[in-house]
Every structure is written in structure tokens, then in C-alpha cells.
Amino acid sequence: MMELTKKRLQRREEQQRRQRREILAEALELFSRRGYHNVSMNDIAQEAAYAVGTIYKFFSSKEELYRAIISDVSEQFAAAAAAALAAEGNEYEKIIAYLQAGSRVFRSNSKAVRLYFAETHGVSFNFRTGLDRETVAMHEQMLASLAAVFAAGIEKGFFHPLDPEMLARALDSLALAFLFVWLDDTRKCSAAENLEMIEKIFFRGVMTPSGKKLLLSAEGR
């Protein structure tokens, strides 16, 4: 009897997860086409083929639904970044893996990223504008992990002895700038081209002669 009850609960939870995913997907589609302020909860319910009461069961407001879309992307990025920075390899390889992971997440969620930038004016001056506290905390943790990798690379002589936190924030800002370029025209530059340009602008300036040997070795593979 307990096993049957457990299975029923599992099916119900899976159904709820599926409904939540469908609601978020339809909301994102509508927000992308019409703009956040031109879409109502009733519109989302109709598009998702759910009763509006079902929508409110998951999200208390349209703003909460919007924040859930952005939070989901942020969680994907945080997980991918953490895995890249904790992977095997030297500090240069970890940072490159981090950049590649971030690029994959943002490019595969381009509609959500576009929505965020479209609805958050002045974001180029403050990327975290409009993010909730939990998402901001995830971003800070990611920057701290990135700074720790820079610190380890400095200790080994790969990078010049600069402030690791400032290096992390500088690289984060540079990657964000290239994301803006790509969002403006997806045909303008590929992910590989962006990464190559970031390497030329950033790493050739912060690496010591020993680090540059490491860079040349990586390029020769």
C-alpha cells in the first residue's frame, strides 16, 4: 500500500514539474513575441491550454513567472560554471572551460536572455539590475570561484600578480560585452570567434611569460 502511495506521489510530482515547464515555455514564447508588459496571465493560460487557476497554483503573479524564467537560466549557468571551474586541468584550461560553458548556456537560452535585457533598462551598467537576491548570490559565488582559480594561477606564476577578484569581474564584464554583440546580430560572430577574441584581449595581457608558454602549448594542440 505504501509503495502504491509513493508511486502516485511520484507521478503527481512529475506531472507538476511537466506543467511548470510547459507554463514557463509558453510564457517565454509570449513574452518574446509581444513583450512582457503586453501579456497577461490569462494569455499565458490560453496559450498553455491550462485553466488560469492552474497557472496561479504555480506562480502568484506574472512577475514571479518572469523571475522564474530568469532564475532557471541563472541556475543552469551557475551549475555549468561550477562544473567547469572544478574540472581537471590547469587554471587557464579551467577558465576557458568556464567561458565555453557560459556561452553554451546563454546561446541555448537566447530568448530568455533577450527578454531579460529587453525588460531591464540600463543593464549594460549594472548586469544584476532586476535579479532577485538568490540569483545575485549565485552570481557572486560564481565570481568568487573564478577569482579562486585566478589566485591559484597567480600563485603558480601563470598570471601577473593582480587582484584575483578584479580579474574575475573584468573577465565577466568582457564576456558579457561579447554576449551583447552576439544578441545584437547572431550572424556577426560565432561562439568560437568570440572566445578567440576574448583570449587575445584578456589573456595575452594578464599572462606572465610562463603563462604565455602555457597558452602557446594549448594553441598547438
Domains of the chain (ranges; CATH) run: 1-60 (1.10.10.60), 69-219 (1.10.357.10)
Residue pair 94/150 in contact by the 8 Å Cβ criterion: no
d(CA 63, CA 115): 13
Q: Give the model confidence (pLDDT) of 78-100 as tens digits.
A: 999 999 999 999 999 999 999 99
Residue 163 pLDDT: 96
Residue 1 pLDDT: 58
Closest CA to 32 of 119, 130, 105, 126: 119
Q: What is the pTM of this model?
A: 0.80
d(CA 52, CA 189): 41
Q: 24-27 — which CB contacts under 8 Å span 24+ positions?
A: 24/65, 24/68, 24/69, 24/72, 27/65, 27/66, 27/69
Residue 205 pLDDT: 77
Alpha helix locations (H) across the chain? 2-34, 41-48, 52-58, 62-85, 91-108, 110-119, 133-155, 164-184, 191-198, 204-206, 209-219
Cα Rg for the chain, rounded, in angstroms? Answer: 21
d(CA 192, CA 93): 15
Q: Give the model confidence (pLDDT) of 36-55 as tens digits.
A: 999 999 999 999 899 999 99
The tens place of each residue's pLDDT in the chain, 221 residues long, gives 566 566 667 788 888 899 999 999 999 999 999 989 999 999 999 998 999 999 999 999 999 999 999 999 999 999 999 999 999 999 999 999 999 999 999 989 989 988 888 877 544 444 455 566 788 888 899 999 999 999 999 999 989 999 999 999 999 999 988 888 887 777 776 777 888 888 888 887 777 787 777 766 766 55
Residue 104 pLDDT: 92
